């Protein structure tokens, strides 16, 4: 594990004693577990059904998510909702969250904020929030959207490529009492928005989500 820096103590100290949706959201908004809170507007908790069988984990909030304090409300979120529907899953019936709860970006021209993926240390510092959401929602299965979500659960050597679209055993060493039955890794919808083969890549995401639906139906 990377060394903890004094300005990056990790999220533990901000975890509420009693876990409920309001306490979770307030804790994330107040969190100073790493330096990402400084430049961001809000900490963004997950959203959706707290009794969902399926949890989807993205990377971090984007520009819109940071302004609205809600996950998946921008272009990637719209694409994800469409893919869920095409796979026969109700977008309102799942719980959606991110591996890291504050938006990391570089300043661009004219006030634009350029997305910058979280580092290994940010993923580690923010890990207690994802674990808390897993305890709260107790999902049967977890879809990991992209490498950041994958490494938040399986460790930093995780790559989506080799294992995408199929049932993965939930890692025993993941530090929650609640153990989901399975994980399934797939592409992040933002990668599809950037792709030159959008239709093909979207079809592959839909196929992977349809596999998750099959696993839920078992």
Between 7 and 90, name the residue whose CB sits nearer to ligand SF4.
Answer: 7
Using CB under 6 A as the binding rule, whether residue 190 contacts ligand URA is answered as: yes
3-class DSSP assignment, residue 169: strand
- String of contacts with ligand SF4 for each residue 75-114, x by CB under 6 A: -------------------------xxx------------
Judged by beta carbon, residue 36 or residue 149, the one nearer ligand SF4 is: 36
Stretch that binds ligand SF4, among 67-75, 119-127, 142-150, 152-160 (CB under 6 A): 119-127
CA atoms within 13 A on the CB side of 165: 13
56 is a contact residue toward ligand URA (CB under 6 A): no
**Number of residues counted as binding ligand URA (CB under 6 A):** 13
DSSP string, 179-214: --SEEEEE--HHHHHH-S-HHHHHHHHHHHHHHHHH
Q: Counting contacts by CB under 6 A, is residue 36 touching ligand SF4?
A: yes
What is the smallest separation between the CB atom of 122 and ligand SF4, expressed in angstroms? 6
Instruction: Decide: residue 130, CB within 10 A, 0-12 exposed, 13-18 middle, 19+ buried.
Output: buried
**For residue 165, how many other CB atoms are within 10 A of its CB?**
17
Q: How many helices (H) and strands (E) does the chain have?
A: 9, 8
Examine residue 31 and tell whether it contacts ligand SF4 (CB under 6 A). yes
Strands 113-115 and 54-58, by their bridges, are unpaired
Tell me whether residue 132 or residue 192 sits nearer to ligand SF4 (CB atom). 132
Find residue 107's DSSP bridge partners. Answer: 113
Instruction: State yes or no: residue 118 binds ligand URA (CB under 6 A).
Output: no
Residue 204 CB, shortest distance to ligand URA, in Å, is: 18
Going by the DSSP 8-state scheme, the letter that residue 92 receives in this structure is G
Contact 50, 92 (CB under 8 A): no
Binding site for ligand SF4 (CB under 6 A): 11, 28, 31-34, 36-37, 43, 100-102, 122, 125-126, 129
């Amino acid at each position: 594990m990377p060394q903890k820096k004094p300005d990056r103590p990790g999220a533990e100290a901000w975890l509420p004693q009693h876990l409920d949706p309001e306490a979770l959201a307030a804790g994330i908004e107040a969190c100073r577990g790493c330096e990402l809170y400084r430049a961001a507007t809000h900490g963004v908790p997950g959203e959706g059904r707290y009794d969902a069988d399926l949890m989807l984990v993205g990377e971090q909030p984007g520009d819109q998510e940071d302004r609205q304090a809600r996950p998946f409300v921008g272009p990637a979120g719209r694409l994800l909702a469409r893919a869920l529907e095409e796979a026969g899953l109700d977008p309102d019936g799942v719980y959606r969250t991110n591996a890291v709860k504050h938006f990391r970006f570089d300043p661009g021209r004219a006030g634009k904020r350029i997305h910058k993926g979280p580092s290994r240390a940010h993923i580690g510092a923010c890990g207690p929030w994802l674990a808390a959401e897993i305890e709260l929602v107790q999902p049967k299965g977890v879809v990991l959207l992209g490498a950041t979500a994958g490494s938040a659960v399986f460790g930093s050597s995780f790559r989506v490529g080799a294992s995408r679209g199929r049932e993965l055993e939930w890692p025993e060493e993941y530090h929650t009492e609640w153990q989901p039955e399975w994980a399934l890794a797939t592409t992040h919808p933002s990668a599809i928005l950037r792709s030159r083969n959008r239709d093909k890549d979207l079809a592959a995401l839909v196929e992977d989500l349809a596999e998750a639906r099959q696993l839920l139906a078992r």
